[in-house]
Amino acid sequence: MNADNMNADKNTSPNKTMPFEKYKQFKPIALPDRTWPDQVITQAPRWCTVDLRDGNQALIEPMTPDEKFKMWNLLLELGFKEIEVGFPAASQTDFDFVRMIIEKDLIPDDVTIQILCQAREDLITRSCESVVGAKHVIFHLYNSTSTLQRKVVFKMDREEIIKLATDATVIVKKHTDQLVAQGTAITLEYSPESYTATEMDFAVEICAAVMDVWQPTIDNKVILNLPATVEMSTPNIYADQLEWFIRHLPQRDKAVISLHTHNDRGTGVAASELGLMAGADRIEGTLFGNGERTGNCDLITMAMNMFSQGVDPKLYLSDMPKIVAVSEECTKIPIHVRQPYAGELVFTAFSGSHQDAIKKGMDFVGDKGAEWEVPYLPIDPADVGGSYRETVRVNSQSGKGGVAFILENYYGVSLPRPLLVEFSPIVQRASEADGGELKPDAIWKTFVSEFIEVEGPYKLIDYKVRSGSNELETCKASIKVGENEMVVEGQGSGPIDAFIAAMVETLNEPLNVVDYQEYALNEGSEAQAICILALTDEEQNKYYGVGISPNTTTAAFNSIVAAINRKWRD
């Protein structure tokens, strides 16, 4: 847009609206004495992963048998004890996978497989055939109960929907009795699908009716899964619905309350968390929230949220890069760089003030050796297979804290503050010229060219230092000046003082060392000394130079030459 157009438009703004009138607000639950807001999550729920079923059916390219097996092994490795392995009555691939892991004895004794099935007799029969020989099975039966689906899809009233569910329960009981006789432990899971769009009294009524048929006990409870099949409200309303349901459910002590949230409003994890606070016992979801539409509850985010609060999530998520790699390979869905706890950039700060705070926080934790307290980092990246070095990356928005962090954590170089203040704008200009992020190697190359291998007329060729009888040391050095080579000589109280005296003789102007530090880089056979030194001239202008060498004296002399070249250049 040119300047004339900008001036013409500056006093106007768009006056457009969206057709919001076509949507109605979700009605809240009347629960003035709700108790869930005062609850705190102090232990992990029972987790059930549905990656192999719900997650798989949502993929553009469903997993191949090999990919399903790779995902299965990952889920076992992460510590899941309940895994929904498929919808065997609806897919031959799912049926074959279930048979394969049973027949090849690939299910650990402490893991329960779960299968999904609609309330239809032919599907129930087929489903039971798929799990013959399994030790522990959750039979997940569902039918939709929402007002809208009763009216639009099924054209049934409440009584007919209850009969559909209870008749199906009778059939499940009949077929699974045969499995129980053969040694399979069976748990019934019943889902009133679209629970959040179902009248609360009806949800309680149909679940109670299913329980009456199944006859659960305290030792063999039924699982009542209350799904937000489509997320329709804020998470607090879901929590109200759950607390209301739990209060009014007969024989609550014989039921496990399970949640299966979706993410249509972007709050699937929050809804599940508030649901736990409202009294739920069990959570279904997928790794990274993969699922229909906007996805399911993200189990990794929810588990890591607990971890960050000092609660054992009962899942082992310490190798996040592997989890990401397997998930991406099996689902063909890339993990977003901002994905909580797992994305490439989630522990990364570009902002200068953030970088400075992170650096100080890391130093603080390192010194204290106590609980994790680092600004902007809710957890230690190392706990999920990350690295401290990945927390800070540099672009034009970064400051001296980021530069210091990169040099210290990648190269072991700790700069004095005045040098850091001088170098940071140089890095910023380089980033602005590049137009993006400066990688650590680019920052290091900039540092080397600016302070170590400084272009200028002087270069140290060779030197000798000897001690005299008068407690002074003499330095005789070969220096290349432009295209010529010359020998300089000077005396001083030590090698550095003597070399400075020799260079002053050549330059014919005073030089004073005003800042000096030297320390080791690396250890053992790869150890080198780094010398960081500042000189001032007769006008008190300060020039830093840096030298690196296996020999400490050589490192010091090179830092002096670098500082003199910077003085000459400037």
Concatenating the DSSP letter of every residue in 68-109 gives: HHHHHHHHHHHT-SEEEEE-TTT-HHHHHHHHHHHHTT-S-T
pLDDT at 351: 67
User: What pTM was computed for the model?
Assistant: 0.80
∠ Cα 345 351 357 (to 5°): 100
Sign of CA dihedral 342, 348, 354, 355: positive
Quote the CA–CA distance of 213 and 167 in Å, as a whole number.
9
Q: Which residues face 144 on adjacent strands?
A: 193
Quote the CA–CA distance of 56 and 155 in Å, as a whole number.
30
Q: What is the residue type of 218?
A: I
**Strand (E) or helix (H) holding 352:** helix 352-368
Radius of gyration of the chain measured on its C-alpha atoms: 35
All structural domains of the chain with their residue ranges = 38-331, 352-452, 458-569
For residue 556, the SS3 value is: helix
458-569: CATH topology: Double Stranded RNA Binding Domain (3.30.160)
Q: Using the 8-state DSSP alphabet, how is residue 451 labeled?
A: I
Closest CA to 462 of 484, 449, 480, 474: 480
368, 531, 537, 542 from 401: Cα distances, Å: 21, 21, 29, 22
Quote the CA–CA distance of 312 and 45 in Å, as a whole number.
10
263 near 231, Cβ under 8 Å? yes
pLDDT at 471: 82
Q: State the CATH architecture for 38-331.
A: Alpha-Beta Barrel (3.20)
Q: What is the layout of strands, in order, in the sheet containing 512-521?
A: 512-521, 528-536, 542-549
SS (H, E, C) 247-316: HHCCCHHHEEEEEEEECCCCCHHHHHHHHHHCCCCEEEEEHHHCCCCCCECEHHHHHHHHHHCCCCCCCC
pLDDT averaged over 10-residue windows placed end to end, the chain, 570 residues: 54 81 91 97 98 94 95 98 96 95 97 96 96 98 91 88 96 96 97 94 97 97 96 96 98 98 97 98 97 95 97 97 97 95 83 74 72 87 80 64 82 90 87 77 91 92 88 91 90 92 82 90 81 90 94 94 90
pLDDT at 389: 62
Q: What is the residue type of 117?
A: C
Tally of CB atoms within 10 A around 351: 17
Q: How far is CA 509 from the centre of its chain?
A: 57
Closest CA to 481 of 501, 451, 510, 461: 461
